[in-house]
Amino acid sequence: MPVTAGPITLYLGPDTVGGPDSLEAPIIEFIGTAQNELLVCVQELDHRPIADALIAASRRGVRVRAIMEQDYLRERNAPEPDSLGTQEVNRELLMRILRAGVDAKADYNPAIFHQKFMIRDRDSVLTGSTNFTTTGVKKNLNHVCVIKDKEVAREYGREFKQLRQGTFGARSLLMPRKPLEGHVVGGIRIKPLFAPDHMPEMEFIKQMIKAKERVDFAVFTFAQSSGIDDALVNARQKGLAVNGVLDRRQANQKWASKDTLVEGGVRLHQNKTGTGVRKIHHKLMVMDDGLTILGSFNYTGPANLVNDENIIVLGDLDLPDGPARDAQRAIGEYARTEIDRIIANQSEEIRR
Protein backbone atom coordinates (compact mmCIF):
# COMPACT_ATOMS: atom_id res chain seq x y z
CA MET A 1 0.00 0.00 0.00
CA PRO A 2 1.29 3.51 -0.76
CA VAL A 3 2.01 5.89 2.08
CA THR A 4 -0.22 8.94 2.50
CA ALA A 5 0.57 11.91 4.72
CA GLY A 6 -2.03 14.65 4.42
CA PRO A 7 -2.19 15.74 0.78
CA ILE A 8 0.89 13.70 -0.24
CA THR A 9 0.84 10.09 -1.46
CA LEU A 10 4.02 8.24 -2.43
CA TYR A 11 3.93 5.10 -4.58
CA LEU A 12 7.00 2.86 -4.89
CA GLY A 13 7.06 0.09 -7.44
CA PRO A 14 6.24 -1.49 -9.67
CA ASP A 15 4.61 -4.43 -7.94
CA THR A 16 5.29 -6.50 -11.07
CA VAL A 17 8.99 -6.71 -10.11
CA GLY A 18 8.84 -6.74 -6.33
CA GLY A 19 7.93 -3.18 -5.35
CA PRO A 20 5.01 -2.58 -2.97
CA ASP A 21 2.81 -0.52 -5.30
CA SER A 22 1.41 -0.35 -8.80
CA LEU A 23 2.74 2.61 -10.78
CA GLU A 24 0.35 2.27 -13.70
CA ALA A 25 -2.76 2.59 -11.52
CA PRO A 26 -2.03 6.00 -9.90
CA ILE A 27 -1.05 7.52 -13.26
CA ILE A 28 -4.24 6.34 -14.94
CA GLU A 29 -6.35 7.32 -11.93
CA PHE A 30 -4.80 10.81 -11.89
CA ILE A 31 -5.71 11.26 -15.55
CA GLY A 32 -9.13 9.69 -15.11
CA THR A 33 -10.18 12.07 -12.34
CA ALA A 34 -9.33 15.26 -14.27
CA GLN A 35 -12.43 17.38 -14.81
CA ASN A 36 -11.30 20.50 -16.63
CA GLU A 37 -7.60 20.60 -17.49
CA LEU A 38 -4.64 18.24 -17.64
CA LEU A 39 -1.11 19.44 -18.37
CA VAL A 40 1.39 16.69 -19.21
CA CYS A 41 5.19 16.96 -19.32
CA VAL A 42 6.79 13.60 -20.00
CA GLN A 43 9.92 12.40 -21.71
CA GLU A 44 8.34 9.42 -23.41
CA LEU A 45 4.91 7.86 -24.02
CA ASP A 46 4.67 4.30 -25.32
CA HIS A 47 2.25 2.71 -22.83
CA ARG A 48 -1.13 2.20 -24.47
CA PRO A 49 -3.30 2.22 -21.31
CA ILE A 50 -1.90 5.65 -20.37
CA ALA A 51 -2.46 6.95 -23.91
CA ASP A 52 -6.01 5.55 -23.78
CA ALA A 53 -6.61 7.42 -20.51
CA LEU A 54 -5.44 10.69 -22.09
CA ILE A 55 -7.73 10.09 -25.07
CA ALA A 56 -10.67 9.34 -22.79
CA ALA A 57 -10.02 12.53 -20.83
CA SER A 58 -9.96 14.61 -24.01
CA ARG A 59 -13.16 13.01 -25.29
CA ARG A 60 -15.05 13.80 -22.09
CA GLY A 61 -14.16 17.49 -22.45
CA VAL A 62 -10.94 17.84 -20.45
CA ARG A 63 -8.47 20.25 -22.05
CA VAL A 64 -5.32 18.12 -22.39
CA ARG A 65 -2.00 19.71 -23.35
CA ALA A 66 1.30 17.84 -23.50
CA ILE A 67 5.04 18.27 -24.06
CA MET A 68 7.27 15.32 -24.97
CA GLU A 69 10.92 14.64 -25.80
CA GLN A 70 11.30 14.71 -29.60
CA ASP A 71 14.17 12.20 -29.55
CA TYR A 72 11.64 9.44 -28.84
CA LEU A 73 9.59 10.42 -31.88
CA ARG A 74 12.34 10.08 -34.48
CA GLU A 75 15.00 7.52 -35.39
CA ARG A 76 18.70 8.11 -34.92
CA ASN A 77 19.27 6.09 -38.08
CA ALA A 78 16.55 6.43 -40.69
CA PRO A 79 14.77 3.09 -41.20
CA GLU A 80 14.41 1.49 -44.59
CA PRO A 81 11.41 2.66 -46.67
CA ASP A 82 8.15 1.26 -45.28
CA SER A 83 9.85 -0.17 -42.17
CA LEU A 84 8.56 0.99 -38.80
CA GLY A 85 11.70 1.70 -36.75
CA THR A 86 12.26 1.37 -33.01
CA GLN A 87 10.22 4.45 -32.05
CA GLU A 88 7.10 3.55 -34.00
CA VAL A 89 4.95 2.92 -30.92
CA ASN A 90 5.73 6.43 -29.64
CA ARG A 91 4.78 7.94 -33.00
CA GLU A 92 1.63 5.84 -33.26
CA LEU A 93 0.43 6.87 -29.80
CA LEU A 94 1.27 10.51 -30.49
CA MET A 95 -0.91 10.40 -33.61
CA ARG A 96 -3.72 8.76 -31.64
CA ILE A 97 -3.75 11.41 -28.91
CA LEU A 98 -3.49 14.20 -31.50
CA ARG A 99 -6.52 12.82 -33.35
CA ALA A 100 -8.41 12.78 -30.05
CA GLY A 101 -7.82 16.50 -29.57
CA VAL A 102 -4.79 16.50 -27.28
CA ASP A 103 -2.61 19.55 -27.94
CA ALA A 104 0.86 17.96 -27.93
CA LYS A 105 4.21 19.54 -28.71
CA ALA A 106 7.79 18.27 -28.84
CA ASP A 107 10.63 19.94 -26.97
CA TYR A 108 13.46 21.98 -28.49
CA ASN A 109 16.09 21.22 -25.87
CA PRO A 110 19.29 20.01 -27.60
CA ALA A 111 20.08 18.20 -24.32
CA ILE A 112 17.41 16.07 -22.61
CA PHE A 113 13.81 16.98 -21.88
CA HIS A 114 13.57 14.75 -18.82
CA GLN A 115 10.40 15.92 -17.07
CA LYS A 116 7.85 13.44 -15.73
CA PHE A 117 4.95 15.40 -14.25
CA MET A 118 1.28 16.22 -14.72
CA ILE A 119 -0.93 18.99 -13.33
CA ARG A 120 -4.62 18.25 -12.83
CA ASP A 121 -7.26 20.98 -12.60
CA ARG A 122 -4.70 23.44 -11.23
CA ASP A 123 -4.84 21.86 -7.79
CA SER A 124 -2.87 18.59 -7.94
CA VAL A 125 0.52 17.43 -9.24
CA LEU A 126 1.83 13.98 -10.11
CA THR A 127 5.60 13.71 -10.41
CA GLY A 128 8.42 11.23 -9.90
CA SER A 129 10.90 9.10 -11.82
CA THR A 130 8.40 7.14 -13.91
CA ASN A 131 8.25 7.55 -17.67
CA PHE A 132 4.88 6.80 -19.25
CA THR A 133 6.21 3.65 -20.86
CA THR A 134 5.56 -0.05 -20.46
CA THR A 135 9.06 -0.57 -19.07
CA GLY A 136 8.62 2.46 -16.80
CA VAL A 137 5.46 1.18 -15.13
CA LYS A 138 6.10 -2.58 -15.37
CA LYS A 139 9.84 -3.40 -15.43
CA ASN A 140 11.90 -0.52 -14.01
CA LEU A 141 12.01 0.32 -10.30
CA ASN A 142 10.46 3.78 -10.03
CA HIS A 143 8.30 6.06 -7.91
CA VAL A 144 5.27 8.32 -8.35
CA CYS A 145 4.23 11.06 -5.94
CA VAL A 146 0.85 12.82 -5.95
CA ILE A 147 0.49 16.15 -4.15
CA LYS A 148 -2.90 17.82 -3.80
CA ASP A 149 -2.14 21.49 -3.28
CA LYS A 150 -2.94 24.58 -5.36
CA GLU A 151 0.32 26.39 -4.59
CA VAL A 152 2.45 23.43 -5.67
CA ALA A 153 0.28 23.05 -8.77
CA ARG A 154 0.75 26.74 -9.53
CA GLU A 155 4.53 26.34 -9.32
CA TYR A 156 4.51 23.41 -11.72
CA GLY A 157 2.12 25.38 -13.92
CA ARG A 158 4.72 28.14 -14.21
CA GLU A 159 7.23 25.56 -15.40
CA PHE A 160 4.76 24.16 -17.93
CA LYS A 161 4.00 27.63 -19.27
CA GLN A 162 7.70 28.40 -19.66
CA LEU A 163 8.27 25.16 -21.55
CA ARG A 164 5.25 25.66 -23.81
CA GLN A 165 6.62 29.08 -24.72
CA GLY A 166 9.77 27.36 -25.95
CA THR A 167 12.13 28.11 -23.09
CA PHE A 168 13.96 24.81 -22.69
CA GLY A 169 17.17 23.76 -20.97
CA ALA A 170 19.88 26.35 -20.44
CA ARG A 171 17.69 29.06 -22.03
CA SER A 172 15.65 29.11 -18.83
CA LEU A 173 18.65 30.64 -17.04
CA LEU A 174 17.95 33.81 -19.03
CA MET A 175 14.57 34.06 -17.27
CA PRO A 176 15.46 33.41 -13.60
CA ARG A 177 12.69 32.81 -11.09
CA LYS A 178 12.83 32.20 -7.38
CA PRO A 179 11.82 28.79 -6.03
CA LEU A 180 8.83 28.30 -3.78
CA GLU A 181 10.20 28.64 -0.25
CA GLY A 182 8.65 28.02 3.14
CA HIS A 183 5.53 26.32 1.79
CA VAL A 184 3.95 23.87 4.23
CA VAL A 185 1.08 21.52 3.41
CA GLY A 186 -0.44 19.26 6.04
CA GLY A 187 2.46 20.14 8.32
CA ILE A 188 5.03 18.99 5.73
CA ARG A 189 7.42 21.41 4.07
CA ILE A 190 7.23 21.06 0.28
CA LYS A 191 9.86 22.61 -1.96
CA PRO A 192 9.69 22.02 -5.72
CA LEU A 193 12.82 22.87 -7.73
CA PHE A 194 13.41 22.85 -11.47
CA ALA A 195 16.57 22.38 -13.49
CA PRO A 196 18.39 24.17 -14.76
CA ASP A 197 16.45 27.17 -13.39
CA HIS A 198 17.22 26.42 -9.73
CA MET A 199 20.28 24.13 -10.14
CA PRO A 200 18.86 21.57 -7.67
CA GLU A 201 22.21 19.90 -6.93
CA MET A 202 22.91 22.49 -4.24
CA GLU A 203 19.73 21.52 -2.42
CA PHE A 204 21.00 17.96 -1.98
CA ILE A 205 24.30 19.23 -0.62
CA LYS A 206 22.65 21.78 1.69
CA GLN A 207 20.33 19.17 3.19
CA MET A 208 23.14 16.62 3.63
CA ILE A 209 25.01 19.13 5.76
CA LYS A 210 22.02 19.10 8.15
CA ALA A 211 21.69 15.30 8.28
CA LYS A 212 22.85 13.74 11.55
CA GLU A 213 22.42 9.97 11.29
CA ARG A 214 22.04 8.50 7.81
CA VAL A 215 21.59 9.07 4.08
CA ASP A 216 20.01 6.43 1.84
CA PHE A 217 19.61 6.66 -1.92
CA ALA A 218 18.58 4.78 -5.05
CA VAL A 219 19.44 6.43 -8.37
CA PHE A 220 19.69 5.44 -12.02
CA THR A 221 22.63 7.60 -13.14
CA PHE A 222 25.28 8.94 -10.75
CA ALA A 223 28.14 10.69 -12.56
CA GLN A 224 31.46 12.14 -11.44
CA SER A 225 30.24 15.44 -12.90
CA SER A 226 27.87 15.73 -9.94
CA GLY A 227 29.01 17.24 -6.64
CA ILE A 228 26.57 15.01 -4.77
CA ASP A 229 29.11 12.17 -4.56
CA ASP A 230 31.59 14.37 -2.70
CA ALA A 231 28.85 15.47 -0.28
CA LEU A 232 27.99 11.83 0.42
CA VAL A 233 31.64 10.98 1.09
CA ASN A 234 31.85 13.99 3.40
CA ALA A 235 28.74 12.79 5.25
CA ARG A 236 30.33 9.36 5.66
CA GLN A 237 33.54 10.91 6.98
CA LYS A 238 31.47 12.78 9.58
CA GLY A 239 30.19 9.43 10.83
CA LEU A 240 26.82 9.15 9.09
CA ALA A 241 25.67 5.81 7.72
CA VAL A 242 25.51 6.21 3.92
CA ASN A 243 23.90 3.44 1.86
CA GLY A 244 22.92 3.45 -1.77
CA VAL A 245 22.03 1.41 -4.82
CA LEU A 246 22.73 2.20 -8.48
CA ASP A 247 21.61 0.72 -11.76
CA ARG A 248 24.21 -1.87 -12.77
CA ARG A 249 24.78 -0.67 -16.33
CA GLN A 250 25.07 2.96 -15.37
CA ALA A 251 27.28 2.28 -12.34
CA ASN A 252 29.94 0.62 -14.49
CA GLN A 253 30.35 3.39 -17.03
CA LYS A 254 33.75 5.10 -17.01
CA TRP A 255 32.16 8.43 -16.08
CA ALA A 256 30.26 7.00 -13.09
CA SER A 257 31.05 7.96 -9.49
CA LYS A 258 31.15 4.35 -8.24
CA ASP A 259 34.83 4.37 -7.28
CA THR A 260 34.62 7.74 -5.54
CA LEU A 261 31.73 6.55 -3.39
CA VAL A 262 33.16 3.12 -2.51
CA GLU A 263 36.60 4.49 -1.73
CA GLY A 264 34.93 7.14 0.43
CA GLY A 265 33.30 4.48 2.63
CA VAL A 266 29.78 4.55 1.16
CA ARG A 267 28.07 1.14 1.24
CA LEU A 268 27.20 0.95 -2.44
CA HIS A 269 25.20 -1.68 -4.31
CA GLN A 270 24.05 -2.46 -7.83
CA ASN A 271 21.11 -4.53 -9.01
CA LYS A 272 21.74 -8.19 -9.76
CA THR A 273 20.78 -9.91 -12.97
CA GLY A 274 17.98 -12.46 -12.93
CA THR A 275 15.66 -10.57 -10.56
CA GLY A 276 13.18 -9.41 -13.21
CA VAL A 277 14.26 -5.78 -12.79
CA ARG A 278 15.26 -4.12 -16.04
CA LYS A 279 16.61 -0.93 -14.48
CA ILE A 280 16.84 0.79 -11.14
CA HIS A 281 15.37 4.02 -12.43
CA HIS A 282 14.69 5.82 -9.12
CA LYS A 283 16.04 9.27 -8.34
CA LEU A 284 15.36 8.96 -4.63
CA MET A 285 17.21 10.09 -1.50
CA VAL A 286 16.21 9.97 2.18
CA MET A 287 18.02 11.72 5.04
CA ASP A 288 17.52 10.71 8.68
CA ASP A 289 14.28 8.97 7.63
CA GLY A 290 12.70 12.42 7.77
CA LEU A 291 13.50 14.28 4.56
CA THR A 292 12.84 12.82 1.12
CA ILE A 293 14.01 14.15 -2.25
CA LEU A 294 12.38 12.63 -5.32
CA GLY A 295 11.61 13.45 -8.94
CA SER A 296 13.21 13.13 -12.38
CA PHE A 297 16.69 14.40 -11.45
CA ASN A 298 19.62 12.02 -11.98
CA TYR A 299 22.81 12.93 -10.12
CA THR A 300 24.78 14.36 -13.03
CA GLY A 301 26.22 17.68 -14.16
CA PRO A 302 24.00 17.86 -17.27
CA ALA A 303 20.87 17.21 -15.18
CA ASN A 304 21.78 20.24 -13.10
CA LEU A 305 22.87 22.56 -15.90
CA VAL A 306 21.22 21.77 -19.25
CA ASN A 307 18.42 19.20 -18.94
CA ASP A 308 14.80 19.99 -18.09
CA GLU A 309 14.20 18.31 -14.70
CA ASN A 310 12.29 18.64 -11.44
CA ILE A 311 12.65 17.54 -7.84
CA ILE A 312 10.43 17.75 -4.79
CA VAL A 313 11.92 18.15 -1.31
CA LEU A 314 9.55 16.75 1.31
CA GLY A 315 10.26 17.52 4.94
CA ASP A 316 12.42 19.65 7.20
CA LEU A 317 15.34 18.20 9.17
CA ASP A 318 15.10 21.05 11.70
CA LEU A 319 11.50 20.25 12.61
CA PRO A 320 10.93 19.45 16.34
CA ASP A 321 9.12 16.31 17.48
CA GLY A 322 5.38 16.39 16.90
CA PRO A 323 2.65 15.38 14.41
CA ALA A 324 4.30 17.15 11.46
CA ARG A 325 7.61 15.41 12.06
CA ASP A 326 5.77 12.09 12.34
CA ALA A 327 4.05 12.72 9.00
CA GLN A 328 7.27 13.48 7.13
CA ARG A 329 8.94 10.53 8.85
CA ALA A 330 6.20 8.22 7.56
CA ILE A 331 7.13 9.20 4.01
CA GLY A 332 10.86 8.94 4.65
CA GLU A 333 10.64 5.56 6.33
CA TYR A 334 8.49 4.18 3.50
CA ALA A 335 11.07 5.30 0.93
CA ARG A 336 14.02 4.06 2.97
CA THR A 337 12.35 0.69 3.53
CA GLU A 338 12.01 0.26 -0.23
CA ILE A 339 15.67 1.16 -0.74
CA ASP A 340 16.55 -1.46 1.90
CA ARG A 341 14.36 -4.03 0.13
CA ILE A 342 16.05 -3.40 -3.22
CA ILE A 343 19.47 -3.73 -1.60
CA ALA A 344 18.58 -6.91 0.30
CA ASN A 345 16.61 -8.75 -2.38
CA GLN A 346 17.68 -7.49 -5.77
CA SER A 347 21.22 -6.15 -5.42
CA GLU A 348 24.82 -7.02 -4.60
CA GLU A 349 27.42 -4.90 -2.82
CA ILE A 350 30.09 -3.15 -4.86
CA ARG A 351 33.44 -3.71 -3.19
CA ARG A 352 36.82 -2.11 -3.72
DSSP assignment string, 62-121: -EEEEEE-GGGSS-SSPPPTT---TTHHHHHHHHHHHHTT-EEEE---SS-B--EEEEET
Spatial separation of the C-alpha atoms in residues 173 and 175, rounded to whole Å:
5
In this structure, which amino acid lies at residue 232?
L
CB 29 within 8 Å of CB 49: no
Q: Does the pTM of the predicted model rise above 0.85?
A: yes
DSSP 320: P
Spatial separation of the C-alpha atoms in residues 37 and 64, rounded to whole Å:
6
Across the beta sheet with 309-314, the strand order is 184-185, 188-195, 309-314, 291-295, 283-287, 214-219, 241-246, 267-271, 347-349
DSSP 149: -
User: In the chain, what are the domain boundaries?
Assistant: 3-161, 186-349
Q: What CATH topology corresponds to 3-161?
A: Endonuclease; Chain A (3.30.870)
CB 296 within 8 Å of CB 283: yes
Spatial separation of the C-alpha atoms in residues 350 and 246, rounded to whole Å:
10
pLDDT tens digits in sequence order for the chain, 352 residues long:
899 999 999 999 999 999 999 999 999 999 999 999 999 999 888 899 999 999 899 999 999 998 877 555 554 555 554 444 455 666 677 777 777 777 877 766 655 778 999 999 999 999 999 999 999 999 999 999 999 999 999 999 999 998 888 776 666 666 678 889 999 988 899 999 998 889 999 999 999 999 999 999 999 999 999 999 999 999 999 999 999 999 999 999 999 999 999 999 999 999 999 999 999 999 999 999 999 999 999 999 988 988 889 999 999 999 988 998 999 999 999 999 999 999 999 999 998 7
Alpha helix segments (H runs only) across 176-322: 201-210, 228-237, 248-251, 258-263, 301-305
Centre a 10 Å sphere on the Cβ of residue 255 and count the other Cβ atoms it contains: 12
Does domain 186-349 match CATH 1.20.1730.10?
Answer: no
- Hey, is 321 helix, strand or coil? coil
CB 339 within 8 Å of CB 18: no
**186-349: same fold as 3-161?**
yes
